[in-house]
Structure 1
Amino acid sequence: MTTFADKAIAYYDSLAAPTNLPPDTGVMNPYQQPEVKAIVSEFYTSFFSDTTPRVFILGINPGRFGAGVTGISFTTPQNLRRYCGIDNDLRDTPELSSRFIYQVVDAFGGAKAFYSRFFLTSLFPLALTKTMPGSGPKNYNFYDDRATTEALWPSITDTVRTQLEFGSNRRIAVCLGRKNETYLRRLNDQQGFFERIVTLDHPRYILQYKSKAMPAYLESYITTLHECTE
């Protein structure tokens, strides 16, 4: 029996960075690093060693301090240790999205309960950066300029199509981010991947701009996620 974990591990092991990005747009591929390979294998073996279809929760593309480091969506090294029980020697990193997501995971009943129902991923699987004159690389989104969007659109399509084969509940998908919704709906109109899409505000937006209302956002997340699994 080939499990969700088997398919996911093989996929991430095979990921290659695109070569057609515009100038000054970089990509981080941690999956070729031995420690990240070991983390990915342990994570998916721990939480996805079955054939149960998951509801997909889709972000934009990884941040350079989350999956850009650990290879696990929305997951910093410290949250990998604290919430997932996966020890690692990676340097702790600041990542607002991971902070919020793991409050959601905790409120849902912990990593085992959460990952038994959901698969956290992104439309594009690798972290993007942009280098501006006079500064170092910054986080970048695939939709931040049209040339990058167009260059990556075939890869985005292939990413979602391939990951659906891991084991997906196509009845519904959860989109993280209002702008991201525009692109996921465009993709879904083209490919018919999901019957329905529901959208939640992006974790980074919540913590960066709406932190005082975080308890209400957390409650909204949990309510929506429970509705998705009914």
Structure 2
Amino acid sequence: MAARTTVADRILQFNEGLAGTTLEVPPGFAVVNPFNGPQKDRVREVTTAFYAKYYGDDRPRRLVLGSSPARRGTAVTGVPFEDAKLLESETGFDVDGYAVSRPSAGFLHDVISRYGGRERFYADFVMSFVCPLGLVRTKPEGKEVNCNYYENKKLLDLLRPFLVETLERQLEFGTDASVCYCIGSGENFRFLTKLNEKQRFFGSIVPLEHPRFITQYNRGREEEFAEKYLRAFRGQGE
């Protein structure tokens, strides 16, 4: 009889699989993989502590999917949408030098607090990405910037098999696939919706505006968007 696994076990096993992943990308693009980079041992410590704390059970959870990890955030820490200082307080591991606090994380953690706090939120949801590894592109002057999987057709064509495979594997967390929440109501939502029409991963997909769009361009509407997130997560619709 196989040993019973927890959601934490499955997520950490998924991350170990990502550690051995090599992706082909077009010239000028690169992959940021926190699970096999120079900080991989610290990432393993932090992610193990985090998931053991909140996912040490077999309770079904719904997925909240962003597009791909930011190069100085999740693509370095390994924990979706958690910034360095929050992870430090949550896990007891010093992650200074590996990430910076992001406005997106601040908005999301305000929503999480209002939902009922981390324990309640993480008991109901797993936060992840359509593309679970970070992507960067090099600008003509040599500067690296964040990149989304959908920004370049050749990049998307090369990544598509990886995106399908990793979404299938994330459903194996024990996911409640009746609904998925998509962070990014533009291209990320369009791609995921089109893919779902073919693959039937989820019963429905709820689009939510990206926190960066909210905090950078709609500061005066943060309360409105936070309420929209909360209604969606509570299954209250519009």
TM range (shorter): over 0.9
Q: CA deviation at 1:25?
A: 0.5
Output the CA distance in 1 between the equivalents of 2:57 and 2:191: 30
Output the CA distance in 2 between the equivalents of 1:8 and 1:175: 19
Q: CA deviation at 1:21?
A: 0.2
- Correspondent of 1:8 among 8, 11, 16: 11
Aligned length: 228
In the alignment, is residue 40 of structure 1 matched against residue 44 of structure 2?
Answer: no
In the alignment, is residue 27 of structure 1 matched against residue 31 of structure 2?
Answer: yes
Output the CA distance in 2 between the equivalents of 1:13 and 1:215: 38
Output the CA distance in 1 between the equivalents of 2:236 and 2:45: 31
Shift in alpha-carbon separation, 1:115–1:212, aligned structure 2, 3 A: same
User: Is contact 1:174-1:200 (8 Å) kept?
Assistant: yes
In the alignment, is residue 111 of structure 1 matched against residue 118 of structure 2?
Answer: yes
Q: Who is 1:95 aligned against?
A: 102
Shift in alpha-carbon separation, 1:135–1:95, aligned structure 2, 3 A: farther
Deviations 1:70-119 (A, max 9, x none): 1001111112134x354323325142321211111111121111100000
In the alignment, is residue 203 of structure 1 matched against residue 206 of structure 2?
Answer: no
Report 1:131-150 matches (<5 A). 131-150=138-157
Output the CA distance in 2 between the equivalents of 1:160 and 1:55: 13
In the alignment, is residue 172 of structure 1 matched against residue 179 of structure 2?
Answer: yes
Q: CA deviation at 1:17?
A: 4.2
Q: Who is 1:74 aligned against?
A: 81
Output the CA distance in 1 between the equivalents of 2:59 and 2:217: 36
Output the CA distance in 2 between the equivalents of 1:169 and 1:21: 32
The AA in structure 1 aligned to 2:192 is: L
Output the CA distance in 2 between the equivalents of 1:156 and 1:59: 13
Q: CA deviation at 1:140?
A: 0.4
Q: Who is 1:187 aligned against?
A: 195
Q: Who is 2:70 aligned against?
A: 63
The AA in structure 2 aligned to 1:6 is: D
Q: CA deviation at 1:228?
A: 7.0
User: Is contact 1:17-1:27 (8 Å) kept?
Assistant: no
- Tell me whether 209-218 or 12-21 shows the greater mean CA deviation: 12-21
The AA in structure 2 aligned to 1:67 is: T
Q: CA deviation at 1:223?
A: 1.4
Tell me the TM-score normalized by structure 2.
Answer: 0.91
- Classify the secondary structure of the residue corresponding to 1:57: strand
- Classify the secondary structure of the residue corresponding to 2:35: helix
Unpaired runs of at least 5, structure 1: none
The AA in structure 1 aligned to 2:61 is: R
Q: What is the Cα-based RMSD across aligned positions, in Å?
A: 1.6
Which 4+ stretches in 1 moved above 4 angstroms? none
Tell me the TM-score normalized by structure 1.
Answer: 0.94
User: Is contact 1:26-1:130 (8 Å) kept?
Assistant: yes
Identical counterparts, % of pairs: 31
Q: CA deviation at 1:18?
A: 3.2
Deviations 1:181-218 (A, max 9, x none): 11111111121111111111111111111111111111
The AA in structure 1 aligned to 2:11 is: A
User: Is contact 1:81-1:87 (8 Å) kept?
Assistant: yes
User: Is contact 1:96-1:203 (8 Å) kept?
Assistant: yes
